[in-house]
């Protein structure tokens, strides 16, 4: 991964106050249950859209995906990673 790609990924996964506010709604300290809480939230708040996929796919931040209310593909799972991280569970060690 190049430095530019790493910076872009960091920008996409940056935890904003908006993401943190949503993440604070989840209460489970059990990582397994937490994932199901997050998936339920996303299922109720995101739709699948492909009409503008070439314009936005892999180009939006987690906050933008959540605010837009739709995902364009499976790699747009940034909100899951962000919401887990705010709750103390990282995908990779620091």
Give CA–CA dist 62/80, Å, rounded: 8
Quickly tell me which residue has 């892999």 as its tokens. Answer: 58
Backbone φ, ψ for residue 70 (5° rounding): -150, 155
Give CA–CA dist 74/32, Å, rounded: 20
Task: Give the pLDDT confidence score for residue 67 in this predicted structure.
Answer: 92
Enter the pTM of the model.
0.71
Average pLDDT of every residue of the chain: 76
Give CA–CA dist 92/89, Å, rounded: 9
pLDDT higher than 50, residue 4: no
Give the residue-averaged pLDDT of 4-18: 65
pLDDT higher than 70, residue 70: yes
Decide: 72 and 49 in contact? Cβ < 8 Å: yes
């Amino acid at each position: 991964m190049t430095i530019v790609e790493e910076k872009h990924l960091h920008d996409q996964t940056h935890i904003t106050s908006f993401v943190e506010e949503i993440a604070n709604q989840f209460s489970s300290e059990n990582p397994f249950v937490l994932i199901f809480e997050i998936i339920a939230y996303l299922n109720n708040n995101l739709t699948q859209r492909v009409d503008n996929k070439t314009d936005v796919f892999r180009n939006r931040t987690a906050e933008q995906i959540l605010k837009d209310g739709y995902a364009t593909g499976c790699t747009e799972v940034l909100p899951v990673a962000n919401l887990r991280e705010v709750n103390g569970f990282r995908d990779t060690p620091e």
